[in-house]
Structure 1
Amino acid sequence: MPQRFGRPGLLGTIARTAVISGTATAVSNLVERRDMRRQAAAQAPQMPAAAPSAPALAGTGRVSQLTQLAGLKTQGLLAEEEFATEKARVLGS
């Protein structure tokens, strides 16, 4: 079969379209996640350093703060490094 020159065939067009579509989707998702993180950071109130409190109250507060941090990480609003930093701060490490 002789080699074909010129415009690509149907399979070539489909493959090119799939690559372009996949790339566009990946870039769009990255931009959307970055924008969501920026909005969350702008809206999140800056938490002042917590004053030491009674151990029973501190444990309950820590659990709720860790739960909130885990929720933000699950939603993609916190990066892994941010989560680790905040977790260490909450645990007092």
Structure 2
Amino acid sequence: MPGLLRGIARTAVISGTATAVSNRVSRRQAGRWAEQDSARALAYQQPAAQPAAPQPAAPAQSAAASPPDDAMTTRIEQLRQLADLKAQGVLTEEEFAAQKSRLLG
């Protein structure tokens, strides 16, 4: 009988330890996911607020003239950021298309 109780007690201790470790790992992983979600949300909000500022006032250019190189570089960089957000799954296809047409239009 003492051997049986010892075996049951040992199993209970091992099971409790495994449960505690599993719970701790789950909490840490949930914390990491929450950090990633907040970083993605922040990255999603920032590009939406920034595009208003980089539009320089063009001094009397004709409609056929191409935009300056700085403006083109800025647009290309913004398109790359949008593509990265889409690749990460932050933007849907529709949101990406709307943002892209707003940048290019």
Cα deviation, 1:28-79, whole Å, max 9, x if unaligned, reads: 211122123334433x1425xxxx8328x37x89x753x2233212267x72
Which residue number in structure 2 is paired with residue 72 of structure 1?
81
* Cα root mean square deviation, aligned: 4.0
Are residues 53 and 79 of structure 1, via their aligned partners in 2, closer, same or farther at CA, if it must alter by over 3 Å?
farther
Establish whether residue 84 from structure 1 lines up as the match of residue 91 from structure 2.
no
The alpha carbon displacement at 1:91 in A equals 5.4
Task: Give structure 1 stretches of 5+ with no counterpart.
Answer: none
Q: What is the number of equivalent residue pairs in this alignment?
A: 84
The aligned counterpart of 1:20 is 27
Partner amino acid for 1:79?
L
Structure with max Cα Rg: 2
Q: Which amino acid aligns with 1:85?
A: A
Seen in structure 2, the aligned counterparts of structure 1 residues 88 and 71 have a Cα distance that, compared at 3 Å, is same
The change in CA–CA distance for 1:29 and 1:15 in structure 2 (over 3 A counts) is: same
State the alpha-carbon separation in 1 of the partners of residues 100 and 43 from structure 2. Answer: 21
Q: 1:53 to 1:68 in 2, by over 3 A?
A: farther
How high is the TM-score relative to the length of structure 1?
0.54
Q: Identical aligned pairs, as a percentage?
A: 19
The residue type equivalent to 2:64 in the other structure is: A
Amino acid at match of 2:97: A
- Counting only pairs closer than 5 Å after superposition, residues 6-85 of structure 1 correspond to structure 2 as 9-42=16-49, 44-46=50-52, 53-54=63-64, 57=66, 64=73, 65=75, 67-73=76-82, 74=84, 79-80=91-92, 81-85=94-98
Could you tell me the TM-score, scaled by structure 2's length? 0.50
User: Between Structure 1 and Structure 2, which shows a larger proportion of helix residues?
Assistant: 2
The AA in structure 2 aligned to 1:86 is Q
